[in-house]
């Protein structure tokens, strides 16, 4: 899938990196490299610490994310080519993002939904999610479409996060 890629070198990329705005490609190859990428993403997510991490957040424009809303190791989940269906209810809640450190935004999302996806072997599965789990799935699926929490900002939120976003842009420019 990525001939020159060493999954162990993947790291979290931050706004305004352009990969975060890309429409991600469907995963069609289910091999050892994909499993290594998912394992590295889970490690980065836990180290951050966070509850979810999408492939664009490590520089890869593919339709995959990892998540674990509970923090319990047995609840690590790899989600490939997700589709969210049966969205129900709505609630506003503050969200953060590993690619937007120090930035928080109140986002309105569905409270319950069904996730359809495939696993690392390409086998389809379906899960129902509620509350935080449903929110995480929506947040990470947004990343796969090039959307970020800053796209949901109110005018007040833009003002509140202006300094943090400016700082992230300055760091990005210095890194070249």
CA distances from 13 to 16, 40, 50 (A): 9, 14, 14
- Helices vs strands, H then E, count in the chain: 3, 7
Nearest of 44, 47, 35 to residue 10 by alpha carbon: 44
Q: Rounded distance, CA 83 to CA 162, Å? A: 33
What residues form DSSP beta bridges with 108? 92
The set of long-range contacts for 46-51, using a CB threshold of 8 Å and a minimum separation of 24, is 48/12, 48/98, 50/98, 51/132, 51/136
In whole angstroms, what is the distance from residue 55 CA to residue 66 CA?
A: 8
How far apart, in whole angstroms, are the C-alpha atoms of residue 171 and residue 106? 25
Catalytic annotation, pick one of 102, 140, 155, 170:
140
- Tokens representing 172 are 């990005």
Q: Annotated catalytic, 140?
A: yes
- Residues marked active site are found at 140
């Amino acid at each position: 899938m990525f001939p020159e890629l060493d999954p162990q070198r993947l790291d979290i990329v931050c706004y305004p990196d352009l990969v975060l705005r890309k429409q991600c490609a469907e995963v069609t190859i289910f091999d050892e490299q994909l499993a290594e990428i998912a394992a590295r993403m889970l490690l980065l997510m836990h180290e951050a610490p966070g509850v979810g991490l999408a492939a664009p957040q490590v520089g890869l424009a593919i339709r995959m994310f990892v998540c674990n809303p509970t923090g319990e190791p047995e609840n690590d989940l790899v989600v490939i080519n997700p589709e969210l269906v049966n969205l129900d209810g709505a609630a506003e809640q503050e969200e953060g993002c590993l690619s937007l450190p120090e930035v928080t935004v109140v986002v309105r999302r569905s409270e319950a939904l069904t996730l359809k996806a495939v696993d690392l072997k390409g086998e389809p599965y379906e899960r129902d999610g509620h509350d935080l789990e449903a929110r995480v799935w929506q947040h990470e699926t947004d990343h796969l479409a090039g959307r970020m929490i800053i796209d949901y900002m109110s005018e007040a939120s833009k003002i509140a996060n202006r300094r943090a976003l400016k700082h992230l842009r300055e760091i990005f420019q210095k890194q070249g």
